[in-house]
Amino acid sequence: MSKQTYRISDLANELDITTRAIRFYEEQGLLSPTRRGQERIYSAKDRVALKLILRGKRIGFSLAECKTLIELYDPQAGNQKQLNIMLGMIAERRQQLEQQLLDIQQMQLELDTAEERCRSALQALQEKR
């Protein structure tokens, strides 16, 4: 029984990313294809890892965080440890986003105040004329 393998172009087309991005993730130690001469041969595990990287990037995980999740990938064990750690990372990311949202709202208030002061100053100057 043959295990499913993928060429770099197969993964790039399927996941709508560049082959250069895939090679970058390989250089970072996130993927480990085998070689057949110059050709890279990716396993089903590499494909899953690449999907995890892309999903992680979309939700704001660093490559180091993605690497942690990939290293914990163990379908034989049901991925319980990986899933629990990912839940913790999601909670942490959500908290960061909530703080950023509060920071943005505070900045908007400060911009509103600065804008109002500028408009008032301009109006006062126009009234002096």
Domain ranges of the chain: 5-71
Question: Which pTM value belongs to this model?
Answer: 0.73
CATH topology of domain 5-71: Multidrug-efflux Transporter Regulator; Chain: A; Domain 2 (1.10.1660)
Q: Considering just the CA atoms, what is the radius of gyration of the chain in Å? A: 24
What's the burial of 6, exposed, middle or buried (CB within 10 Å: 0-12/13-18/19+)? buried
Token pair 């959500």: residue: 94
Q: What is the pLDDT of residues 91-106, one digit of tens each?
A: 999 999 999 999 999 9
Q: What is the pLDDT of residues 6-32, one digit of tens each?
A: 999 999 999 999 999 999 999 999 999
